[in-house]
Chain A
Amino acid sequence: MSKEWPLWEVFVRAKNGLSHRHVGSVHAADDRMAIEAARDTYTRRMEGVSLWVVRSADIVASDPGEGAALFEPAADKVYRHPTFYSIPEHVKNI
């Protein structure tokens, strides 16, 4: 077994109504320690109101080798982009 503590990915909700965003990672031996390390590392300047941590090893990532098949077909379908609407100026966070 590695002597290094496992890596955890950290997600912070900046304020209620927004979604959690990935901000970085921490090393921790267990889930409580991961939350505390995340709190001390990523929310000490009032960055958030809620934290998620998840073991990095539990994240399933897409294969970069399949990038062409997965993502390029979307490139020429401009009609899927919501760019034809005008958004009122006072609406934030869209």
Chain B
Amino acid sequence: MTDGLTEYALRLGDDSLILGQRLGEWCGHAPMLEVDLSLTNVALDLVGQATLFLGIAGDADKLAFHRDVLDFKNCLLVEQPNGDFAQTIARQFLFSNWQELLFRELTQSRNATLAAIAGKAVKEVAYHARLANEWMVRLGDGTAESRARIVNGLDWMWRFGDELFDVDDVVEPLIASGVAVDVRKLRGEWDQRIARTLSEATLEMPKPRRAAKGGRIGHHSEHLGHLLSEMQFLQRAYPGATW
């Protein structure tokens, strides 16, 4: 059993790492060169954050490339497949708006390293949220096809939102000692942000769904294993390979 801070750093780092890997899958496949660059820029920001957070928990490279599915502690939202561009944007919309609020609070952490990482990352994530919010509006208030796609994408991602606001026994003591963020307190502001952008996008709030949870304790959807098999291939096939 790892200590609380290590576990918390794994959760923060894995969120960024897995979403970074997902966005990286768009490299060379996005609908426009400009979109390709913007998605991979976001991916690189996230992988950079992951390197820092996982560095608190141990050797970041080893943690990224030599853990199996059950040992990953990311939320289920970030491992969901890219689908079409709209589904990718829906995932980014829910996640980046949450992560921006999270990092804003984390800059106040009593743990100086966490606070410093958050201070650097919050600027990156504010841009990710802006990008995702604007794409939500363009797709929702765009053509009949873009609208249908973003409705479907949001519908896929919606059930993974609740997990972002869960607090368990691992994090509770860290909240009490001022190290971790109490994400429960972010829910109201997140709801408002989501509602504001959806309204601007002329989209309806999706109906409440039964929440899917379990990522924080390693219970993942089938998609994560496939993602890891690609992400970890090189280090598994050629252990210790460098460039």
| Interface set of A (CB-CB < 8 Å, partner B) | 5, 26-30, 32-33, 36-37, 40-41, 44
Q: In whole angstroms, how far apart are the Cα atoms of A40 and B45 in the complex? A: 12
Q: Are A40 and B38 in contact (CB-based, < 8 A)? A: yes
Does chain A have a CB within 8 A of B5? Answer: no
Q: Are A41 and B134 in contact (CB-based, < 8 A)? A: no
Other-chain residue from B37, B130, B138 in contact with A40 (beta carbon distance below 8 A): B37
Q: Are B34 and A26 in contact (CB-based, < 8 A)? A: yes
A-B contact pairs, 24 of them (CB 8 A): A26-B34, A27-B32, A27-B34, A28-B34, A29-B138, A30-B138, A32-B134, A33-B34, A33-B134, A33-B138, A36-B38, A36-B130, A36-B131, A36-B134, A37-B34, A37-B37, A40-B34, A40-B37, A40-B38, A40-B41, A41-B34, A41-B37, A44-B37, A44-B41
Rounded to whole Å, the gap between the CB of B209 and the closest CB of chain A is: 31
| Interface set of B (CB-CB < 8 Å, partner A) | 32-34, 37-38, 41, 130-131, 134, 138
Q: Are B134 and A37 in contact (CB-based, < 8 A)? A: no
Q: Which A residue's beta carbon lies closest to that of B42?
A: A40
Q: In whole angstroms, how far apart are the Cα atoms of A28 and B38 in the complex? A: 12
Chain B residues positioned under 8 Å from A30 (CB to CB): 138
Q: Which A residue's beta carbon lies closest to that of B44?
A: A44
Chain A residues positioned under 8 Å from B34 (CB to CB): 26-28, 33, 37, 40-41
Q: In whole angstroms, how far apart are the Cα atoms of A29 and B33 in the complex? A: 13
Chain B residues positioned under 8 Å from A40 (CB to CB): 34, 37-38, 41
Q: In whole angstroms, how far apart are the Cα atoms of A40 and B38 in the complex? A: 6
6 closest A-B pairs (Cβ-Cβ)? A37-B34, A40-B38, A40-B37, A40-B41, A26-B34, A41-B37
Q: Are B134 and A5 in contact (CB-based, < 8 A)? A: no
Chain B residues positioned under 8 Å from A28 (CB to CB): 34
Q: Which A residue's beta carbon lies closest to that of B37?
A: A40
Rounded to whole Å, the gap between the CB of B125 and the closest CB of chain A is: 15
Rounded to whole Å, the gap between the CB of B189 and the closest CB of chain A is: 23
Q: In whole angstroms, how far apart are the Cα atoms of A26 and B33 in the complex? A: 9
Q: In whole angstroms, how far apart are the Cα atoms of A36 and B41 in the complex? A: 11
Q: In whole angstroms, how far apart are the Cα atoms of A32 and B136 in the complex? A: 13
Q: In whole angstroms, how far apart are the Cα atoms of A44 and B131 in the complex? A: 15
Chain B residues positioned under 8 Å from A36 (CB to CB): 38, 130-131, 134
Other-chain residue from A5, A32, A44 in contact with B32 (beta carbon distance below 8 A): A5
Q: Are B38 and A37 in contact (CB-based, < 8 A)? A: yes
Rounded to whole Å, the gap between the CB of A94 and the closest CB of chain B is: 34
Q: In whole angstroms, how far apart are the Cα atoms of A15 and B37 in the complex? A: 23
Chain A residues positioned under 8 Å from B38 (CB to CB): 36-37, 40
Q: In whole angstroms, how far apart are the Cα atoms of A44 and B134 in the complex? A: 20
Rounded to whole Å, the gap between the CB of B46 and the closest CB of chain A is: 14
Q: Which B residue's beta carbon lies closest to that of A26?
A: B34
Rounded to whole Å, the gap between the CB of A8 and the closest CB of chain B is: 10
